[in-house]
């Protein structure tokens, strides 16, 4: 039976973070050139929230209590992709950030060339990790589908495409329909990897096609809420709690929810999204008890301060 107290959720988060961190350290332990691996480890092993990995493991566990082990390599691969996107996002050609996770950004420590290449290597290591470390009990056709969906979530249909649109509408350039474009940017740039996180966890644990769709829908809505929270934190947060520089969106004149709708409407949108995400979860047909960690992660995504 899955327990429901606040303490249990904290225990779930702490124990799963430890598990993910230990496996990430193992996957990145050795390799040459040494400077490349140092740069990869610097970003991947720095203290992130690991919310994408937690979502993947919680979705797996919602379907089958022991399946978090099967999903673990995938959860680690997701964190590798996420870390690489942060490294590239912080480069001078993109957001040009100096602080990430409370430390100097990768290129500030290793230089732009190594930072770029560490990101490239992490992208490929993520795919290799899924191909080589998902247990052999999982049908190979499912592993191929997982790799294919991760490539789509990361590439032009997902994160990269969203980032390109984000750049196109930064600096005060406005699309004809601001809200539609902004939703599309958020869903692709941030939402696609979070959607993949819940979908892949449930899929590797043996979810039915209908359940897979509802876990994906839950992740997509949570991803949008996560990014709107990020937009809000850029205005209301401090460098100390965020571990990165606040105020960058306004400074760059970025298209964000807060810029278009203001703080109050953005907060109201979060309330709507929370309700929508809960509806998607209920449609999975999984018992409320088994969904408790996913519900807590939804609240964490919306109420976070970092
Ligand atoms: C994938 C080839 C390839 C390139 C990447 C740079 C880029 C293209 C995309 C940008 C993606 C990006 C950085 C989106 C922002 C997502 C976001 C809100 C990040 C912050 O995530 P948290 O708060 O960070 O989970 P921690 O540090 O806790 O892990």
| pLDDT at 239 (0 to 100) | 87
255 CB contacts (<8 Å, ≥6 apart)? 166, 169, 170, 174, 175, 178, 181, 182, 185
**Tens digits of residue pLDDT in 177-192:** 999 999 999 999 999 9
Q: Which residue CA neighbors atom 17 of ligand 1 most closely?
A: 190
Residue 306 CA: nearest ligand 1 atom is 23
Q: Looking up tokens 């973070």, which residue turns up?
A: 17
Q: How far is the CA of 195 from the centre of ligand 1 (A)?
A: 14
Residue 127 Cβ < 6 Å to ligand 1:
no
222 CB contacts (<8 Å, ≥6 apart)? 55, 194, 198, 273, 277, 297, 298, 301
Residue 154 CA: nearest ligand 1 atom is 1
| pLDDT at 245 (0 to 100) | 86
Look up the pTM and report it.
0.96
Q: How far is the CA of 1 from the centre of ligand 1 (A)?
A: 34
Averaged confidence pLDDT in the chain:
95
Q: How far is the CA of 89 from the centre of ligand 1 (A)?
A: 7
**Tens digits of residue pLDDT in 227-251:** 999 999 999 999 888 988 899 998 9
| pLDDT at 19 (0 to 100) | 98
Q: How far is the CA of 5 from the centre of ligand 1 (A)?
A: 31
Split at pLDDT 50, 70, 90, the class of 3 is very low
Residue 51 Cβ < 6 Å to ligand 1:
yes
**Tens digits of residue pLDDT in 37-55:** 999 999 999 999 999 999 9
Q: How far is the CA of 191 from the centre of ligand 1 (A)?
A: 10
- Top mutation candidate among 17, 42, 82 for ligand 1, by most atoms within 8 Å of CB: 82
Residue 145 Cβ < 6 Å to ligand 1:
no
Q: Looking up tokens 């919310």, which residue turns up?
A: 51
Q: What are the DSSP calls for 179-194, one per residue?
A: HHHHHHHHIIIIIHHH
Ordered structural domains, the chain, with CATH: 6-303 (1.10.600.10)
Residue 85 Cβ < 6 Å to ligand 1:
yes
Q: How far is the CA of 114 from the centre of ligand 1 (A)?
A: 18
């Amino acid at each position: 039976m899955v327990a429901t107290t606040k303490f249990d959720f904290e225990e779930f988060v702490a124990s799963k973070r430890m598990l993910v961190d230990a496996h990430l350290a193992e996957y990145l332990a050795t390799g040459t050139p040494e400077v490349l691996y140092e740069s990869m480890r610097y970003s991947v092993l720095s203290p992130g929230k690991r919310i994408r990995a937690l979502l993947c493991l919680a979705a797996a566990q919602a379907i089958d209590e022991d399946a978090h082990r099967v999903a673990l390599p995938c959860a680690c691969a997701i964190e590798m992709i996420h870390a690489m996107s942060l490294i590239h996002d912080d480069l001078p050609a993109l957001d040009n950030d100096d602080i990430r996770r409370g430390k100097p950004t990768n290129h500030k420590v290793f230089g732009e060339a190594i930072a770029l290449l560490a990101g490239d290597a992490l992208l490929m290591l993520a795919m290799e990790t899924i191909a080589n470390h998902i247990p052999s009990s999982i049908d190979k056709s499912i592993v191929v589908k997982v790799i294919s969906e991760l490539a789509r979530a990361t590439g032009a249909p997902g994160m990269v495409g969203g980032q390109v649109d984000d750049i196109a509408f930064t600096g005060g350039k406005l699309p004809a329909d601001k809200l539609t474009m902004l939703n599309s940017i958020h869903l692709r740039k941030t939402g696609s990897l979070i959607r993949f996180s819940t979908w892949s966890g449930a899929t590797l644990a043996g979810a039915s096609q209908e359940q897979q769709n509802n876990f994906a829908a839950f992740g997509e809505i949570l991803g949008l809420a996560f990014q709107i929270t990020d937009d809000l934190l850029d205005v209301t947060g401090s460098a100390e709690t965020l571990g990165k520089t606040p105020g960058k969106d306004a400074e760059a004149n970025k298209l964000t929810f807060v810029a278009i709708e203001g703080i109050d409407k953005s907060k109201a949108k979060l309330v709507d999204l929370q309700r929508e995400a809960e509806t998607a979860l209920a449609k999975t047909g999984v018992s409320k008890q088994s969904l408790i960690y996913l519900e807590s992660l939804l609240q964490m995504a919306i109420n976070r301060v970092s």
